[in-house]
Amino acid sequence: MLIYAGIDEAGYGPMLGPLCLGATVFEVPGHDPAGGAPDLWRRLEESVCRTKRDRRQRLAVDDSKKLKLAGSGKTHPLKLLERGVLAFLGHFSGEMPQRDTDLFSLLNVTCPETPWYGTVSPLPLAHHADELRIVISRLGRSLDGAGVRFAGMSCHAIDAGDFNALVARTNSKAGVNLTAALRLVDRIWRRWPDDHPRVILDRHGGRTHYREDLQLAWPDAHLTILAEQADISRYRLDRNGAQLTVTFQCEADRMHLPVALASMTAKYVRELFMLRLNRFFCGQRPELKPTAGYVQDARRYLGEIETLLVERRIDRAALIRSR
């Protein structure tokens, strides 16, 4: 049986809001890993596609940046992201989260206890629950027909306060991102120690060499370099007979459905955090335009709430990323 997993991040660059890393895992019985990764888009084509618009109303699964819609349109910008994430999560957990707190619990997300994350959002944001239940049922039939099992999804969110502390400790923003990703890999390996998981990650910052990071993460494992090329770096680790293969690949979210779905999961969680943040500050400054948290617009946003930060004695290190 192939354990086929993907990990990707959302929110690496912004000044506001968390860095989120998503992970998804599929079980593919009978698949020989020596033949390469299976094309799950093809196997699940009855219910899954890559396109934003589909006459058959299938689930769009792709890089999250491609699926978030413009905020100025009539359609909710998170409609496609939400549909995909809640369909797979609902199939796996058997639950339809009614609030963002329910979703955070199902994904093992910890929400910081700061004033700007103190509200709760009802879910779904852009769909009717009954509509999603139909989509979940269709996805389940497609997975069964393809002989594929969706084995779970999770997300790790690092908000500004913790992010700043970690960067100060390591002096490496990229290192914080990679360390968090490898912790998700470790969870997968511990969950399937006897099944040799194959975990795919998007290439981090154009790097080619990851041996030292992997040995630091698993000092008791024997590491073998399988490939260190321009577009792909692959390593096999062996720890007391338990094996793991980790691949860093350029455009992994285009090549591997588990990575694309992980990207969507991370993005959806981050957007729910930003919805809370904007609700808090815009509620006190009605003329304030919401922000996505990216640098240029975040500076505008922070300038407009400067007096509020002073009045409320808000800890800037807990709100604003240093890098």
Give residues with Cβ within 8 angstroms of 8, minimum separation 6.
Answer: 21, 22, 64, 201, 202, 252, 253, 259, 260, 262, 263, 266
Decide: pTM greater than 0.95: yes
Rounded CA gap, 1 and 38, in Å? 12
Most distant pair of Cα atoms in the chain: their distance: 62
**Spatial distance between the Cα atoms of 177 and 63, rounded to a whole number of angstroms:** 18
3-state DSSP call for residue 71?
Answer: coil
Please give the structure tokens belonging to residue 24.
């998804």
- In this prediction, residue 49 carries a pLDDT of 97
Q: Tell me, what's the pLDDT at 32?
A: 87
Strand pairing class (232-239; 222-228):
antiparallel
Q: Residue 100 in 3-state DSSP?
A: helix
Q: How far apart are CA 95 and CA 236, in angstroms?
A: 36
Which residues of the chain fall below pLDDT 50? none
pLDDT value, residue 206: 74
Segments making up each domain of the chain, as ranges: 2-159+256-276
pLDDT tens figures, 14-46: 999 999 999 999 999 999 888 889 999 999 999
